[in-house]
Chain A
Amino acid sequence: MSKAVSALAGAKASGLVAIEERGLQGMITLRGDFASAAFKKAVKAVLGVDVPGQRAVAVQGEKAVAWMSPDELLVMVPHGEADAIVDALSEALKAEHHLAVNVSDARAVFRLSGMDALVREVIAKVAPVDMAGFGPGQIRRTRISQVAGAFWQPEAGVLDLVCFRSVAQYVFDLLKVSAMDGSEVGHLG
């Protein structure tokens, strides 16, 4: 649907690092029993990856699966495919107690990119997380200043952060302030 727009329509800013709202991103909340063989099979079959371990992110091409809690995954797919993948997951898990629901439009995703140490320092200003011990392959759900959020690093020097759509402007402004020129801390890296 061409009329669909993300929360901030791809807003950009730059400072210590580049900040960009990533536009429309398909997202699915998938809840179920990770120990169940049928659940593992369904995830592998529909998404092409194994159920990730605790606080891990598994990436497969345009799709990614992140561990959100012991019974919840965040599935990332192209925006236009989300409904179809929800249907496919529901079909594959028909016999299992599960919940698959499209939450694409309930979220906003930001990408920070630049020098790896600076990317992590910007986050260390807003989240109570040891960013020296954080890196690619992990996801961390936490507090982003005054709102809930989660982030992961697809690779060094890049960090994706997801928050609720209604607070997208707040998070964008917060990241912008935290990345303002001249505010490098020099603590990480």
Chain B
Amino acid sequence: MLTLTCPYCGVSGEETEFHAGGEAHLKRFISGSTDAEFDEYMFLRENPKGVHFERWRHVYGCGKWFHAARDTNTLEVFGTYSAQVSEPPKEIKDKISAKRPGWSWRNFK
């Protein structure tokens, strides 16, 4: 069972306080987009073994959504950060690079 740190209230809590919200940094496509674009937004996911970016909500705590950068294989948590960004902040990416040189995820590296 994971331990995650909510960047909004500072609590390091066990997984049961949180709710997993799937893959992070999806780009939303609305009416007028192609079927391929909508398909990618709605259904296609990375499912990596290794570095991954996810959304979580501190549902039993402050109620805030946040992002987590995590290794799906070792369960290492590289960091958690604001939900109000469309890509991981530099310090998170640097931290991952230090531990997983050469990593990439979608268009990020």
Chain A contact residues, CB within 8 Å of chain B = 54-55, 68-70, 72, 128-129, 140-143, 148
B17 touches A128 (CB 8 A): yes
Of the candidates B8, B16, B59, the one whose C-beta lies within 8 Å of that of A128 is B16
Main secondary structure of the interface of A (DSSP, over half): strand
A154 and B96 CA atoms in complex are apart in Å by 42
Of the candidates B9, B13, B14, the one whose C-beta lies within 8 Å of that of A69 is B9
| Closest-CB distance, B87 to chain A (whole angstroms) | 21
Which of these binds chain A: B25-33, B35-43, B61-69?
Answer: B61-69
- Residues of A with C-beta under 8 A to B63: 69, 72
**B10 at interface by CB-CB < 8 Å:** yes
Given contacts A69-B63, A70-B64, A148-B60, contact A142 B10 (CB under 8 A): no
A72 and B62 CA atoms in complex are apart in Å by 9
Main secondary structure of the interface of B (DSSP, over half): loop
Given contacts A69-B62, A69-B63, A69-B64, contact A143 B10 (CB under 8 A): no
Contacting residues of chain B (1-33) with chain A, CB-CB under 8 angstroms: 8-11, 13-14, 16-17
For the side of the interface on B, what is the size category?
Answer: 10 to 19
- Residues of A with C-beta under 8 A to B16: 128, 143
A54 touches B17 (CB 8 A): no
- Residues of B with C-beta under 8 A to A143: 16-17, 60
Chain B contact residues, CB within 8 Å of chain A = 8-11, 13-14, 16-17, 59-64
A54 touches B9 (CB 8 A): yes
A141 and B11 CA atoms in complex are apart in Å by 9
A88 and B2 CA atoms in complex are apart in Å by 44
A142 touches B9 (CB 8 A): no
A54 and B17 CA atoms in complex are apart in Å by 18
A69 and B10 CA atoms in complex are apart in Å by 10
B62 touches A68 (CB 8 A): yes
A128 and B59 CA atoms in complex are apart in Å by 14
Nearest-neighbor residue (CB-CB) of B61 within chain A: A141
- Residues of B with C-beta under 8 A to A140: 11
B64 touches A142 (CB 8 A): no
A70 and B63 CA atoms in complex are apart in Å by 10
